[in-house]
Amino acid sequence: MNLENARAVLQDAELIHSADAVQRAIDSVAERIRQDLSGLYPVILAVMSGAVPFVGHLLPRLDFPLDFDYLHASRYGLETQSKSALTWRSGPWIALKERHVLVVDDILDEGVTLSTICARLKQMGAASVRAAVLVEKNTGKTKPLIADYVGLVVPDRFVFGFGMDICGMWRNLPAIYARA
């Protein structure tokens, strides 16, 4: 996708959740995480690259001791919107044995990627694994994983913004849009 196409995609897109709605959702998720994890000294793991905006806004709202790390696993490529086999690219680097882990991701779509990540973290010896997602897509299908913390629900459409990309672009938007 080139610059002109990217601008056209945004111009034609439908606003699903405003920037204010996204921030309110992050406040809500942070409060629930504080209630559940503040006494556990958890490891917060961001799933790259989509979780960067979400975790960047979430961490300052968590006023308790924690460790932070990342991992990179994906079923999508930059040049496509189609799914493929899960590819592990990096991390996590912190030892997870007997630690409470919170995986932070941008979207729970079909749940395959996040479910696979959580299963692998359990195999690595995590005492518990929870998942927080900024958005959950309402697919109408049963998912292999239920996120412990969900900020917003989006329709079963291709969405982008606030970490979610469209062909590598528009992760930097403060709101969430659906492709026309």
The residues annotated as belonging to the active site are 109
Instruction: Please state, in angstroms and as integers, the Cα–Cα distance from residue 135 to each residue in 21, 49, 145, following that order.
Output: 12, 15, 14
Retrieve residue 51's tokens.
């979780």
Q: Which two structure tokens, joined as six digits, stand for 4?
A: 């002109």
CB count, 10 Å around CB of 66? 17
Tell me the one-letter amino acid at 34. Answer: R
Contact 107, 134 (CB under 8 A): yes
